[in-house]
Copies of this chain bind each other. A is one copy, B any other.
Amino acid sequence: MASTAQDPAPSDDTSALIDALGQSAFLTMGAMTKIAAEHDLSLTQLRVLAILRDRRLRMTDLAAYLGLEKSTLSGLVARAETRGLVGRAADRSDKRAVEVFLTEDGQLLGKRIAAELADQLAPVVSALRPAERRSLQELLAKALDATVQFEG
């Protein structure tokens, strides 16, 4: 059972793990933010590229993935569309709905960014021996599986 937020922080080694998760999160997000900035994108635009990599989504669904209001999406998608990264298409079955998808340029940029992220995180990866990498990946996967709130 978790401590309630009223209590002081748990002093067992749980907090060391949480600290480590927080630090690795800032490190990873920092790398992503840097790469995004180099391509003149926000972190959110980067996420759009990642989310739409292998699917097309309606505005409302994309908003849900991102945890944003649909009105926010309108502007976001409009800017991305102006830059030629995404396209909009009317849904055949529901005339109210709009599907968003990556253009060829968007696909290319997405792949490039994934490669750059791998480069950026290379020091982290190479600090570990192959067996340790596998171990870390498996532990993270196990921990992540316990949670529902994540998008791919």
| Binary B-proximity of A123-151 (CB < 8 A = 1, otherwise 0) | 11111100011111101111111110111
Interface of A is mostly: helix
Q: A149-B27, A150-B26 are in contact. Are A20 and B115 (CB under 8 A)?
A: no
In the complex, whether A21 has a CB less than 8 A from a CB of chain B is yes
Residues 58-91 of A at the B interface (beta carbon under 8 Å): 67
Contact B139 A17 (CB under 8 A): no
> Quick check: A115 and B17 within 8 Å, CB to CB?
no
- Cross-chain contact B144 with A2 (CB below 8 angstroms): no
Binding site for B on A (CB under 8 A): 2-10, 13-18, 20-30, 32, 47, 67, 111-112, 114-119, 121-128, 132-137, 139-147, 149-152
Which of the listed residues A3, A126, A135, A137 has the most CB atoms from chain B within 10 Å of its own CB?
A: A137
| Beta-carbon contact of B125 and A17 below 8 Å | yes
